[in-house]
Structure 1
């Protein structure tokens, strides 16, 4: 006597499973060229992103270079390195500096890039647009060492052009690079200058995808240039702005290690010392790899949380990554 499937179960016939597998194999073979082109990218992420994640266990161990990851003893208690960072007298200062510098760079990095993209998009002299684009892109390809040298040439209190001009005019010199009140401004200003043109590329690409008939209709209705920008251009790139904001929120605890490590000095530690520079000094220079890994895991957890929350909010505005 044949038995019926138990209630709540859905048996998939063997023939149907086989036909699904064959259809999948045919689709895979028909698009083999595309999948082959994907392989290098997949291999990169697997080799350099996912496999090294095994090293996260260092955060819960007292890592010893000679013993290796597997044979190093476990920390007692397991959260000891996280606790050490949390109880550090610099914890609040480091978090504050990291968040403030990141937020300043995020805010002042987005608005000027959008403004530059709009100016280039609205420009009617093509050769001038190309010159402006080229000049604004060039700083992106300079290293922070070169930009620091340029900053010294302009902002040094003893030999900088600005302070030499002030001294010759009978005014007091300004310690741009050693003042706790001005150093963050220098950091944010040089970062904006470096990435201004590069950031505008994405917005220009988004603007090129806006339907030109919308501008024509608005022009016929008597809308001026500012009205067209406000009601057509900005809404047209809204999703791109939200997308880039979500991506930048994920790295809000990465305030720019290379820039700050090259440009800061002991006089501005109270306003410029961030998590990464502290970990480099305390964790890596003293070979405390467990502490460095624990702080890195802490940063990743916060970044993941911020990306998830910002994406949830963005979905309510019609955007989002997923």
Structure 2
């Protein structure tokens, strides 16, 4: 009697099966809900009995007052965050790379990593307290040097700046991990050769360190293009108010208000589907650029 020959990788396939089922149940099956974008959806009637209205929800969305301002806010805030999250972690990783005392370096890394593991609910409460125009420590410091208090979370001129800086504070430490890992891959003999040639630490950084990091910088920069429409719902939702809708309202917060607060499910789904379609185009383009300029492949 012939024995059944099981595939060599069968144990690995069985091990990953629960993860595949979770993704299928929670990611793929809900995709059927995009049909709501083309319906006048009534929860009591369900998908199959709600009225089909075609593109009316999309026409309504693009005729909503302020929709283009919301799109502009989303792109503007996201681009500022992407640029800041490229520049600051690179600079910090270069500075940490120059630290020779291991205990001090580990201590600094721990301090700058810590905010990443805190939720925006906690950080939002902290920021509301320290940025308060009356009792916040920041405005008290401004008053001490003779400056007027600033309503960081209630002034349209300051709200975007506050979003970018607070997001940078939370995430830049964790982002330095990738760049520090890229620094370890640089051949030490290049620094030895540069030292023999008389290069200073600054010239070694400019001609050896940065070129060695360039493939990783290009890769992360191109892949980040897919996040142009993700301005950070958790952060904005916990910090914004109606007084800063003009500068801080983004697509995700608009979807929340339209869909969950106003129960306009078809309109909210139409906005979400529009965002997903644009994100698909941006992600596809970013992966092409990553393959073209950074030799990045997905197998």
Establish whether TM, by shorter chain, passes 0.5: yes
Does residue 72 (structure 1) correspond to residue 50 (structure 2)? The answer is yes
- Residue 287 of structure 1 deviates from its aligned partner by 1.5
Contact 2:182 2:213 in 1 (8 A): yes
SS of aligned partner of 1:57 = helix
Contact 1:243 1:321 in 2 (8 A): no
Give the counterpart of 1:294 among 266, 270, 277.
270
| Structure 1 residues 105-120: aligned runs within 5 Å | 105-120=81-96
Does residue 132 (structure 1) correspond to residue 108 (structure 2)? The answer is yes
Does residue 44 (structure 1) correspond to residue 35 (structure 2)? The answer is no
Alignment match, 1:55: 33
- Residue 186 of structure 1 deviates from its aligned partner by 0.7
| Structure 1 residues 111-260: aligned runs within 5 Å | 111-260=87-236
Q: Structure 2 CA distance, aligned partners of 1:269 and 1:282? A: 14
Contact 1:242 1:319 in 2 (8 A): no
Give the counterpart of 2:260 among 269, 284, 299.
284
Does residue 82 (structure 1) correspond to residue 82 (structure 2)? The answer is no
- Residue 184 of structure 1 deviates from its aligned partner by 0.8
Q: Structure 2 CA distance, aligned partners of 1:208 and 1:33? A: 35
- Alpha-carbon displacement from aligned partner over 1:84-128 (angstroms, at most 9, x marks no partner): 111111111001100000001111112111111222223211001
Unaligned runs of 5+ in 2: none
Q: Structure 2 CA distance, aligned partners of 1:251 and 1:69? A: 30
Q: Structure 2 CA distance, aligned partners of 1:100 and 1:182? A: 14
Q: Structure 1 CA distance, aligned partners of 2:217 and 2:72? A: 25
- Alpha-carbon displacement from aligned partner over 1:115-146 (angstroms, at most 9, x marks no partner): 11222223211001100110001111112122
Q: Structure 1 CA distance, aligned partners of 2:241 and 2:108? A: 34
- Residue 216 of structure 1 deviates from its aligned partner by 2.5
Unaligned runs of 5+ in 1: 1-24
SS of aligned partner of 1:181 = helix
Tell me how large the CA RMSD over aligned residues is.
2.1
SS of aligned partner of 1:241 = helix
- Count of aligned pairs: 295
Comparing 152-161 with 134-143, greater Cα deviation is found at 152-161
Alignment match, 1:22: none
TM-score (norm 1): 0.84
- Residue 60 of structure 1 deviates from its aligned partner by 1.2
SS of aligned partner of 2:156 = coil
Alignment match, 2:72: 96
Comparing 124-133 with 159-168, greater Cα deviation is found at 159-168
- Residue 250 of structure 1 deviates from its aligned partner by 1.4
Alignment match, 1:30: 8
